[in-house]
Structure formats: C-alpha cells, structure tokens
Amino acid sequence: QVQMVESGGGSVQAGGSLRLSCAASGYTSSSAYMGWFRQAPGKEREGVAIIDTGGSTTRYADSVKGRFTISRDNAKNTLYLQMNSLVPEDTGMYYCAASGPAGTYYAVGGIGTWYKYWGQGTQVTVSS
C-alpha cells in the first residue's frame, strides 16, 4: 500500500521561504512522476511542480517558475519542494502525489499524466 505524508508547511510572511517534504512508502518507486499540487480556498486543485523518476525532468506552473524548486531523494523515498519568495497567492493546502493508473489527470508544464497516490496535505499560509 502506497502512503505519502507531507510535512513542512506553516505560516510565513511574503518574501519568506518554506521547504516541504513528502515521505513516500509502498510502490512509488515505479511511479514515473511525482509532484506537488495545491488547492486554495474556493479554487480547484492545481499542479505546482512535477519531477520524473530519475530527477532529470522537472516542470513548473508558470506562477512558481524561478521561485520553487522540486527535487527527490530516491534513496530516502522523499520528495521536496523548496519555496522561495513566497507571495500571498501561494497560500493553500499543498499535496504530494505519485503517478499511477486510474488516477486523476493533471498536466504541469506540458507534461500530463494520472496521479493516483496522494498525501493528506500540509497547509501553507503566506501573509502580506
């Protein structure tokens, strides 16, 4: 059974930084892509950043390019999201996910796939 647990969220002022982590267990090593997604109150969940199995391919939403960096440590089965220069519009619940069949389809930066395994989320709040 795949389990994914996010951590690292919190409240920061605009311009600040946070680093999110996602500890994965189960069969995520076979997932072609892992990614970070977020959902603001009253809005649909959106893709923020994705990374392939080897870490050589990454894609970002236009709104976070140049500010966020996604990475993964396969030895530790952990996914990261370094978030710098945060703005209030970055506020939301952040979820990590791993691709798999019969999941929910998202396209991030021109790469679309189905994300089947999801964590419970970690809240990020950015104040102005």
Per-residue pLDDT for the chain (128 aa), expressed as one digit of tens each? 889 999 999 999 999 999 999 999 886 666 789 999 999 999 999 999 999 998 999 999 999 999 999 999 988 999 999 999 999 999 999 999 999 888 999 999 999 999 999 999 999 999 99
> Please, is 127 exposed, middle or buried when counting C-beta atoms within 10 Å of its C-beta (0-12, 13-18, 19+)?
exposed
**For 26-110, where are the E strands, in sequence order?**
33-39, 46-52, 58-60, 68-73, 78-83, 92-108
Structure tokens at 19: 């680093």
Q: Can you state the percent helix, strand and coil of the chain, rounding each to 5?
A: 5, 60, 35
